[in-house]
Amino acid sequence: MLSSLKDFVTLNNGVKMPKLGLGLFKVEDGAVTINAIKYAVDAGYRSLDTAAIYRNEKSVGVGLKECGQPREEIFVTSKLWNAEHGYDSTLKAFEVTLADLQLDYLDLYLIHWPLPKNDKYIATWKAMEKLYKEGRIKAIGLSNFEPEWIQRVLDECEVLPAVNQVECHPYLQQCEVFDYCKKSNIQMQAWSPLAQGKIFEDARLKKIAEKYGKTVAQFVIRWILQRGIITIPKSIDQNRIISNADIFDFEIDEQDMQEMKSFDENNRVGPNPYEFYVV
């Protein structure tokens, strides 16, 4: 049941994670990031998603201090960048992230990309397990991991990933990853739920959204949440941040949920994790 921005998912280790959050991908460091956080928190958001490579973690830290909510009320996610894979490098990178955010702990820390040919994600995960066991991270997870790489983590490591954050939107529905994660008790999370704006050009989506008296963005965000996937639409505009959360007063019927399956083209707007090795 989806009722408000206070809705959360209980992860496999008991940690409660909000179903809807604010994505801060490539949001400009400084006032832009700080203001976006304030807009979101004022609107009721309680989840923020950043990453070392976004280069705005210091501003996220300022935004957290100035947003008017206690630290424990805000779920903060960050991610380890590709250049820092490996046991010792992960531990060092985490310290930098925590210092930049001015926090004592993270709610969720993810391996940003798997880099399978580099073959360091197991060592990286074991370092994250250490931080998790020390209580410095409430939950640890993966990002952009395909089932074969997740399975290796399950086979060779101790802590079950709590989350797998992947690109997911109407044109890349990630059904195989979703089914695998559900079977493995791993929560799937969608990045780029609006397909970097591609959805706004789709007349078919406009027609379905109009049926519910909603914008295309509102309809798609609701559709993702109704699939059981948590998500983090990005915006720096106050009105759009508020609008993106106006999705709790309607429910998409089963016929339209089924109709949405026809939009899946296995078409990415972001990198392919089998090929992405930028450091």
> What residues are annotated to the active site?
54
DSSP letter string over 207-235?
HHHHHTT--HHHHHHHHHHHTT-EE--B-
For residues 123 and 172, what is the distance between their CA atoms, to the nearest angstrom? 30
Residues 6 or more apart in contact with residue 238 via CB below 8 angstroms: 35, 39
Q: Degrees (nearest 5) of the Cα angle 198, 201, 203?
A: 130
3-state secondary structure labels for all residues of 141-202 = EEECCCHHHHHHHHHHCCCCCCEEEEECECCECCHHHHHHHHHCCCEEEEECCCHHHHHHHC
